[in-house]
Amino acid sequence: MAFLELDVLNNDNKAILGIDLGTTNSMVALFRDGRPQVLALEGWADARIPSALFFDEDGTVAVGREARAKAVDEPGASMLSIKRFMGCGLADCENDLSNVPFKASESENGVVAFDIRGRRFTPQQLSARILKHIWDVASDALLEPAPLRAVITVPAYFDDAQRQATRDAARIAGLDVARIVNEPTAASLAYGLDRKKEGTVAVYDLGGGTFDVSILTIEEGVFRVLATAGNTHLGGDDLDRVLVGLALNEIAEQLDEGVKRDPAFLQGVRLAAERTKIELSQKPSAELAVVAPQLGLNWRREVTRPQFEELAQPWIDRTLDACRQALLDAKLKTKDIDEVVLVGGSTRIPAVRLQVESFFGRKPKSELNPDEIVALGAAVQGHVLAGGTREVLLLDVTPLSLGIETVGGAVAKVIQRNSAIPLQATEGFTTYAENQTGIDFHVVQGEREMAKDCRTLGRFKLIGIPPMAAGMAKVAVHFSIDANGILTVTAVENSTSTKASIEVQPMHGLTDDEVEVMLEESFAHARSDFDESRLVNLKVEISTMVRATEKNLHFVADQLDRETRDEIQDAVTAAKKAREGQDFAATQAARDGLEQATLPLAALLMDSVAKAALAGKKLDSF
Ligand code: ADP
Ligand code: MG
């Protein structure tokens, strides 16, 4: 595949911030003095900015460290992990809502929204608060207003809706997004892997709320993401929950039902569980404590590392499954991987490091702080976009195939899953009915053969096609995915250049579980889907042939002998009958029979058309 040339947007040397907008923690960095540097306030032990919000009774909102601290005492007024809700509809994120102490509803445009202290907030708005705070931290650290342009990272698995929601959040915060970059790509940049002449990198990112693994190649300093797999609903939070489960099990008898469901109580237990988990990364055993004097509760127990590892193993296994899938998609084996990069706080867990190492058969890179890598890489990318010297090109991939529904409900795939982006692709379509002046386009995402089994990304209509015979109009449907992963679909009718397009901003996002389910389903159904779609296409073809035959037979009926006419008539009847059934072979035979029987008719028509054309008559009078 040809590399696209990097379009360095602005050559004004204005600096661009790099922001890792994390589920649990965010971080900001800037390229200064020839290298990327994280920005933190004096007195901070590290540069992590909790992606947390706290809503005070008086209407003030605390963000970051302050919010995280207040959340411990008053979890009922705090919002954590807002990233999980970015670009999601209510139904997409039902499971996560149990961790949110606020009432959720769905806004008119299908986006989830939270009622917080009498006000309504979308995830974009809440995320914007965090971004604004990040910018404030950067400005305080720099002792001057920080740049308003930023590169913001998202998990590689984020779909169009989630990326778009991230851009919207930045806009609300008053930031200008120079580019949305995938986190693993940023991580590779942070390690300067772009300087290698060639090589293959696996980036394993296990954070608080998301997991993804990406396989990238470097050729002449140019990155290409070969494949990506993962799950935006898998991370350190799950390991906290495992320990929460352990605690709740043991104290179940001491708790009444109300308390067990009380979000404030649960969040307290969650934070305690996280502390225990983090301690277990350093020590062979740690204490897990649930202390709530108001409930007369003072429960403690020792958790050993092996005990924790046993509970964590199913989650680690799922990450390794995703590694396997990514390698499969990239058509590579573990021995082909030259570098393994660990990203995310949860890769500090010794069992995770060891198992990733043994899976890939090589020691992961670990010189950089796994919390800082993504922000540092974002700053490097910002530097490049600002006209800096490192020549880097970023290409990412589409997690699912994209296509258009055709007549009968089959999907014509225009872009294959795991294609590198940005990219463009064009497919030709035609009209199905006589004098059809409009076409409805249904843009779908997914691996299944039938549109009804895929996810709708959007619909639009191309109108103003001049009346023509069925199949005469030539419509080019152009898919274009920009560097931020935003899809634009344009349809153009050739003869008149009539045009219609949509920028696909689906109502709400696709969760990774959905992506996984869709992929699994597509494998499970591959055979039957294929047959179903072939049958549908065949039936559509038959319908078109029957209609054309019946119409044209009438024009030249007197020029055909009786026997031929009867043969055609019989073939039409047989084809119509086959069209009602489900037998592929029989339908195929009926179609072939019809084609055979109508050959004399076709010959006559060709003649007539030629004569008509010579006589100056218009073709479409037939
Ligand atoms: P995200 O990118 O999702 O915001 P981070 O990369 O900041 O997440 O990772 C946060 C997660 O890492 C949390 O679940 C946190 O508990 C976990 N974590 C941080 N430090 C450690 C540690 N030393 N051992 C185990 N888990 C850790
Ligand atoms: Mg992260």
Q: Provide the 3-class DSSP secondary structure of residue 520.
A: helix
Kindly give the number of the ligand 1 atom that is closest to the alpha carbon of 344: 6
Active site residue 516: no
Report the residue among 315, 346, 366 best suited for mutation to probe ligand 1: largest number of ligand atoms under 8 A from its CB.
346
Which listed residue (92, 183, 237, 529) is catalytic?
A: 183
Highest mean pLDDT among 10-14, 125-129, 473-477, 582-586: 125-129
**Which residues line the pocket of ligand 1, CB cutoff 6 A?**
22-25, 207-210, 235-237, 274, 277-278, 281, 344-346, 348-349, 371
For 42-88, the pLDDT digits (tens) are 889 899 999 999 999 888 999 999 999 888 778 789 998 899 899 88
| Mean pLDDT along residues 349-369 | 94
Kindly give the number of the ligand 1 atom that is closest to the alpha carbon of 209: 3
Residue whose CA is at the smallest distance from ligand 1 atom 5: 207
Nearest ligand by distance to the CA of 232: 1
Active site residue 205: yes
Residue whose CA is at the smallest distance from ligand 1 atom 26: 346
φ, ψ for residue 453 (rounded to 5)? -95, 0
User: Quick one: which H or E segment has residue 220?
Assistant: none
Give which of 76, 67, 168 is closest to 125, Cα–Cα: 168
Q: Provide the 3-class DSSP secondary structure of residue 342.
A: strand
pLDDT reading at 9 higher than 60: no
Which listed residue (20, 447, 493, 529) is catalytic?
A: 20
Higher pLDDT: 457 or 364? It is 364
How many other CB atoms sit within 10 Å of the CB of residue 259?
Answer: 15
Kindly give the number of the ligand 1 atom that is closest to the alpha carbon of 371: 6
- Can you give the pTM of this predicted structure? 0.62
Choosing among 3.30.830.10, 3.40.50.620, 3.30.70.920, 3.90.640.10, the CATH entry for 236-312 is 3.90.640.10
Give which of 399, 510, 414, 393 is closest to 456, Cα–Cα: 510
The residue type of 140 is: D
Matching CATH topology for 17-235+313-395 and 400-509?
no
Q: How is 482-515 classified by DSSP, letter by letter?
A: -TT--EEEEEEETTT--EEEEEE--SSPPPHHHH
Question: What residues does 456 pair with on adjacent strands?
Answer: 444
Residue 359 pLDDT level (bands cut at 50, 70, 90): very high
Mean pLDDT score of the chain:
83
Choosing among 3.40.50.970, 3.40.50.150, 1.20.1270.10, 3.50.30.30, the CATH entry for 525-614 is 1.20.1270.10
Residue whose CA is at the smallest distance from ligand 1 atom 7: 25
pLDDT score at 611 = 54
Architecture of the domain defined by 17-235+313-395 = 2-Layer Sandwich (3.30)
Q: Which residues of 567-589 are buried (b: 16+ CB within 10 A; e: fewer)?
A: bbeebbebbeebbeeeeeeebee
How many other CB atoms sit within 10 Å of the CB of residue 238?
Answer: 18
Neighbours of ion ligand 2 (CB under 5 A): 22, 207, 344
User: Tokens 């691996």 correspond to what residue?
Assistant: 447
User: Quick one: which H or E segment has residue 150?
Assistant: strand 149-154
| Mean pLDDT along residues 195-218 | 88
In whole angstroms, what is the distance from residue 277 CA to residue 275 CA? Answer: 5
| Mean pLDDT along residues 466-483 | 81
* Contact present, 29 and 396 (Cβ < 8 Å): no
Tell me the domain boundaries of the chain: 17-235+313-395, 236-312, 400-509, 525-614
The third-level CATH classification (topology) of the domain covering 400-509 is: Substrate Binding Domain Of DNAk; Chain A, domain 1 (2.60.34)
Kindly give the number of the ligand 1 atom that is closest to the alpha carbon of 236: 14
Which listed residue (92, 168, 194, 205) is catalytic?
A: 205
Active site residue 577: no
Active site residue 183: yes
| Mean pLDDT along residues 356-378 | 93
Higher pLDDT: 134 or 106? It is 134
* Contact present, 537 and 410 (Cβ < 8 Å): yes
Nearest ligand by distance to the CA of 374: 2
User: Tokens 């869709």 correspond to what residue?
Assistant: 518
φ, ψ for residue 147 (rounded to 5)? -55, 145
